[in-house]
Amino acid sequence: MISLAVFNDLLHGFSTVLDPMNLLWAVLGVTLGMLVGILPGIGPALTIALLLPITFNFSDPIGAFIMFAGIYYGAMYGGSTTSILINTPGESASVATAIEGHKMALKGRARAALATAAIGSFVAGTISTVLLTFVAKPIGNLASEFQSTDYFAITLLAMVAVTALVGHSLVRGLLSLTVGLFIGLIGLDSLSGAQRYTFGTLRLLDGVDVVIVIVGLFAIGETLHVASKLRSTPDRPAVLEKGQLRTGYLNKSDWSRSWAPWLRGTALGFPFGAIPSGGAEVPTFLSYTIEKRRARKAGRKHPDEFGDGAIEGVAGPEAANNASFSGVLVPLLTLGLPTSATAAVMLAAFQIFNVQPGPQLFEDQGTLVWTLIASLYVGNLILLIMNLPLIQIWVQVLKVPRPLLYAGILVFACLGVYSLSGSGYEVLMALLIGVVGFFMRKLDFPIAPVILGVILGPTMEEQFRRSLVISNGDASVFFTRPLSLIIIVLTVLALFVPYLPRIVARIRGTQASRDRLTFGEDD
Amino acid sequence: MTGEHRVKILVGYVPTPEGEAALDAAAAEAVLRGASVLLLNTSRGDAYIDNRYANQAELDAAESRLRDLGVEVTIQQAVGSGDVAHELIKAAEANEVGLIVLGLRRRSPVGKLILGSTAQRVLLESPVPVLAVKVPTPHD
């Protein structure tokens, strides 16, 4: 039976992850993740990119990936802390949480809000990891049927869909994507050996390292952005009420109001993580909207609490953003396809360790994959145990003057880039890209498409040219294979998703709203 | 006290024990001199969290405490001026106050080295007399 084999593999994964050293990586990853989760402007994508140079020295990649995964879902949770306590979402995935969460805190229910976020994250993380456990391998088997035309189409879909959903303007998104594709092209062409966009310098022959692009855009660009608007009214954290019950801080009615939103949030987060929608932004807002609508419909018990600190509005979105992480892993592990900026950085990490995610991953790197999956179970437990005790520390971190905080990050970023090559040239390059990133932020160009373009562009080109070589240069091959055609049609449709509300309104003949579905930058 | 208008007392208020001590001293001094009080609360505004920036409830409480003693109060709040000491002195000059009241707290030499001392700067640079108050402790 397949399922028995899965258990066997998973148990093997647990035996590796429970190794003290690997447990330490999990704790470190989760803690770092929570830290960057609470800091506005710094997300998991940047953190993983900063740590990439350090992990070059790891003898085996398992520890690194356990840590990276911990950073990802730790950040998903960490964002909720600042959302609730000071109404400053550290992560785009926590914006929905701030709406009700901060209201709860103002009413003296900060602990309950934090607890429902933590326990919801744990429940959602665990359920979605179970789903990942059983879904990953069958999808991987399915993907082994994929040909190069399909891979080309699906890479295109990932880039276009994320670009369409992220940011406020499709044109700006596509421009960002083009910049990313351009950077990805720099260097030697692997097939013909021709130099592309090297401007005659030897330095650019190897292309631009992905780490430099990520550190430049996220760390340096973002830091400059924060620095450009440094002074603002500071917040004071909502006072944490003294816990009457040490366990959970949730009373009976909180529990009964939280569990259903947790499950609904999980059901939204997992599939949305798996499809290219830019990560956790979409499902968190969907979850919030659904909980709000349900509360309005039910109407009897807690009629007008939404907008005034309804616990459902915290429980649902927080479950959704953690569930989305396991969802993100499905296409990443089985197809080598990132659906968010952070996933793209993780893909780069896989490539650095010479691990190629895709259908063969479960065969070639069984231990790595199953240990990674097992670490999610363990990491979610660590998150649940650690988060409430650590809140006071996070509050202290936020009291640090921002010039010190972000200058430190800038130094660390430059050190990381310098350690890549030991030459100042790379640091200058990162600074240059950082300045570009700053102006992109200022002028409202999304960053995520750039990263996807840099990382997926070369893959897409390779698959594209391989398809053409196989078909003797006949481009119709992309439209004659049904699977490829379906994916390409989906890609075209993805361009219209942001305009869905307007299209629906037009069809219904109602007042065409000027709304466009937009979602902020996701990490 | 030669002017036609009444003397003003500037108090640097923060919602901490030091700030409350300063407020008490300012209130007592205002009653004694028949002066009005200008209450100033500032934050550098460069951290995400600053507990020294008073919220409305705290400002209201401080105001009513002074009003109950029959002291006239004006409240000013400023953010992002960069330097609290400079802000206090600027306010003292602009409002022609006769006295600045400050709360002091114990600072380690290292803390002073890194962050500097607002109180010390005000003491040295103020154009008017400064009254520095410590938090009364049970040991004293």
Whether the ipTM is more than 0.85: the answer is: no
Taking only the tens place, the pLDDT of each residue in B13-70 is 888 888 899 999 999 999 999 899 999 988 777 777 777 788 888 889 999 999 999 8
Nearest CA in chain B to A239: B51
Q: What structural domains and CATH numbers belong to chain B?
A: 8-134 (3.40.50.620)
* Mean pLDDT value of segment A381-388: 84
Taking the CA of residue B13 and the nearest CA in chain A, the distance in Å comes to 16
DSSP assignment of A277-339 equals S-SSHHHHHHHHHHHHHHHHHH-SSSTT-TTS--THHHHHHHHHHHHHHHHHHHHHHHH----
Contacts of A477 (CB under 8 A, 6+ apart): A149, A467, A468, A470, A471, A484
Does residue A344 surpass a pLDDT of 90? no
Alpha carbon A376 to its chain centroid, in Å, reads: 15
Task: Give the model's confidence band at B4: pLDDT under 50 very low, under 70 low, under 90 confident, else very high.
Answer: very low
Residue A430 has pLDDT above 70, yes or no: yes
CB proximity list for A158: less than 8 A, separation 6 or greater: A276, A331, A337, A338, A339, A452, A456
Quote the crossing angle between the two packed helices A110-143 and A95-106, to the nearest 10°: 160
Per-residue pLDDT, averaged over A252-270, amounts to: 89
Average pLDDT, chain A: 83
- Is A59 a residue whose pLDDT tops 90? no
* Pairwise CB contact (< 8 Å): A235 & B49: yes
Nearest alpha carbon to residue A5 among A376, A377, A370: A370
Residue B2 pLDDT: 46
Assigned token pair, B97:
């106050």
| Contact check, Cβ <8 Å, B48/A231 | no
- Whether residue B119 has pLDDT greater than 60: yes
Q: Is A266 left (phi over 0), alpha (psi -120 to 50) or beta?
A: alpha
Nearest-angstrom CA–CA distance, B77 and B12 = 10
User: Is A145 exposed, middle or buried, given 0-12, 13-18 or 19+ CB atoms closer than 10 A?
Assistant: exposed
Q: How far is CA B20 from the centre of its chain?
A: 9
Cβ–Cβ under 8 Å, residues B77 and B60: no
**What distance lies between CA A462 and its chain's CA centroid?**
25
Of A88, A234, A400, nearest to B45 by CB-CB distance is A234
| Closest residue in B to A401 (Cα–Cα) | B47
Among A141-150, A160-169, A294-303, the range scoring the smallest mean pLDDT is: A294-303
pLDDT, tens digit (0-9, with 9 covering 90-100), for B64-104: 999 999 889 999 888 766 678 888 888 899 988 999 998 88
pLDDT in tens, A69-101: 999 888 888 888 888 888 877 777 788 888 888
Question: Tell me, what's the pLDDT at A246?
Answer: 43
Q: B43–A88: do the CB atoms touch at under 8 Å?
A: no
| Residues of chain B neighbouring A233 (CB-CB closer than 8 A) | 43, 45, 53, 79-80
- Across A374-381, average pLDDT: 90
- As a whole number, mean pLDDT of residues A422-443 equals 90
Q: Do A398 and B80 touch (CB under 8 A)?
A: no
**pLDDT of A247 above 70:** no
- Element holding B55 (H helix, E strand): none
The DSSP call for residue B41 is E
> A329 vs A6, which has greater pLDDT?
A329
What distance in Å separates residue B7's CA from the closest CA in chain A? 31
User: Do A233 and B53 lie within an 8 Å CB cutoff?
Assistant: yes
Residue range A504-518: average pLDDT? 61
The pLDDT assigned to A191 comes to: 77
In A, minimum Cα distance to B114 occurs at A404
Residues from chain A that touch B55, judged by Cβ atoms under 8 A, are 236
Q: How many CB atoms lie within 10 A of CB B98?
A: 18
Query: What pLDDT sits at residue B129?
Result: 93
Read off the pLDDT of each residue in A379-392 and give the average, rounded to a whole number: 84
Number of Cβ within 10 Å of residue B71's Cβ equals: 20
pLDDT for residue A245? 39
Q: Is the pLDDT assigned to residue A238 strictly greater than 80?
A: no
